[in-house]
Amino acid sequence: MSKLSSLDITKFLPHRAPFLMVDKVLSISDDHVSTSFTIPKENIFNYQGYFNEAGLVENAAQTCSSIVGKSYFEESDTQGEKTKLIGFISAIKKVQITTCPKVESSIITEANLISRFDTDAYSLCTLQCKISQDHKELLSCELNLVIQEIK
């Protein structure tokens, strides 16, 4: 597993502010990723001082998609100049949210690839994900994602 704290996550994700819900990739491999996110005051998913449930699910999806997104990039394209991706949640199989974090706090998200099916047109994958704060689990889920390269 490589440590990539200097990696620009926007090279693996199509999302941009105000819809980018991941700050840093802490580690990434072909089947696991760990990210961090400090929730800004102006985040669109904030409600009454908390990062809401939809924001947690979006953070999980963006973290998960970086595992598959990473595989579309060649070593020479680490800045994402040649490769452009789109992705979306195709199914949420399970989700359990225990609490929502406060605005301006930091969360850690970890995801594991369960399965992946690649075609010439897209990748379909199933992932398990957990979000925690101060070693307390906030969310656990299982998602299906579709990732497609734009040519």
**Any domain includes 4:** no
**Any domain includes 3:** no
**Any domain includes 92:** yes
Total of domains in the chain:
1
**Any domain includes 29:** yes
Q: What's the predicted TM-score (pTM) here?
A: 0.88
123 burial via Cβ count (<10 Å: 0-12, 13-18, 19+) = buried
| pLDDT computed for residue 3 by the predictor | 47
CATH code of the domain covering residue 22: 3.10.129.10
Cβ–Cβ < 8 Å for 105, 130: no
Its domain, for residue 55, covers 9-150
**Any domain includes 1:** no
Q: Kindly give the confidence (pLDDT) of every residue in the chain, 151 residues in length, as a single tens digit, with 9 standing for 90 and above.
A: 444 445 677 777 777 788 899 999 999 999 999 999 999 999 999 999 999 999 999 999 999 998 888 887 755 544 445 667 788 899 999 999 999 999 999 999 999 999 999 999 999 999 999 999 999 999 999 999 999 888 7
**Any domain includes 59:** yes
**Any domain includes 16:** yes
Among 56, 51, 23, which Cα is nearest to 37's? 23
- 21 CB-near residues (< 8 Å, 6+ apart): 15, 37, 43, 45, 55, 58, 59, 62
**Any domain includes 2:** no
Query: Cα dihedral sign for 2, 69, 87, 96?
Result: negative
| pLDDT computed for residue 4 by the predictor | 47
